[in-house]
Amino acid sequence: MRDFYGVTLPSALMLGTARYPSPAVLEAAFRSSGAAVATVSLRREQGQGGAFWDMIRELGVRVLPNTAGCHSAREAITTAQMARDLFDTPWIKLEVIGHADTLQPDPFGLLEAAEALAADGFEVFPYTTEDQVLAQRLLDAGCKVLMPWGAPIGSGLGLNNRYGLRMLRAAFPDVPMVIDAGLGLPSQAAEAMEMGFDAVLLNTAVAEAGDPAAMARAFALAVEAGAAARAADPMEPREMASPSTPLIGKGWL
């Protein structure tokens, strides 16, 4: 597993903390998932008060604050600075939303905010698309991690642009990458890991499941299986059938 700004995580699963029916369900899901990172919105923490933050700390996971809901670079930068003071971490998941319906990142605002935050000492995890040009600009701005979306946030559609994601992964083989947003099923997380991504980040698929703890465990197993499959060097697809039992040595009547 790759390092994220010098930190090697024990799990490739990152889990959000929003939309759960209760704090107890959230805690049970996290403990079942074995997730190494909890993403936390500054707005949510402020709404829940100190009890919520105490619970997150008791989970013993690394906190990744985010700038969820920000629609401009200035708003994202201010939110990130407040989050750093509150959570005492240079990590920030940078979201600058550009489209209200798809929640697609605004590439111009994202790059502007990434440059400013990296220069200010933040370790930026940018929520981006599979665009290779934008990816290179973000790396040039100081980002050392990329977080391309699988599909629109909360959609559960999985990996919408498999070709684009494969090309992005191949173009930057040494950059840690996390599939962020849009995953709805454990099989989709396994596929992302099989494609060579280093981790997945999800929230809604677990929080809105009938049994969040069970779904969290399913995602944990899927991520582990996908990573193991990638490491095992899977066979390439073939256009024609290839018999698993050779004809050599076969008896003839």
Confidence of residue 227 (pLDDT cuts 50, 70, 90): very high
**Is 154 annotated in some ligand binding site?**
yes
Query: 245 or 209: whose pLDDT is higher?
Result: 209
Check residues 1 and 181 and name the one with the higher pLDDT: 181
What band does 108 get if pLDDT is binned at 50, 70 and 90? very high
With 70 as the cut, is the pLDDT of residue 141 above it?
yes
On whether 214 is known to bind a ligand per the annotation, the reply is no
Catalytic residue flag (residue 144): no
> What are the extents of the domains in the chain?
13-232
Does residue 243 or residue 205 have the better pLDDT?
Answer: 205
203 marked among binding-site residues: yes
pLDDT of 248 > 70? The answer is no
* pLDDT, mean over the chain: 91
Does the annotation list 181 as a binding residue? yes
Which residue among 93, 143, 168, 227 is the active-site one?
Answer: 93
The half-sphere exposure of 67 on its side-chain side, counting CA atoms within 13 A, is 32
Instruction: Looking at the structure, give the CATH architecture of the domain made up of residues 13-232.
Output: Alpha-Beta Barrel (3.20)
| pLDDT attached to residue 250 | 62
Higher per-residue confidence, 68 vs 1? 68
Judge whether 204 is annotated as a binding position. yes
77: nearest Cα among 45, 35, 112, 127: 112
The pLDDT, as a whole number, for residue 192 is 97
pTM of the model: 0.90
Six token digits for residue 247: 């004809």
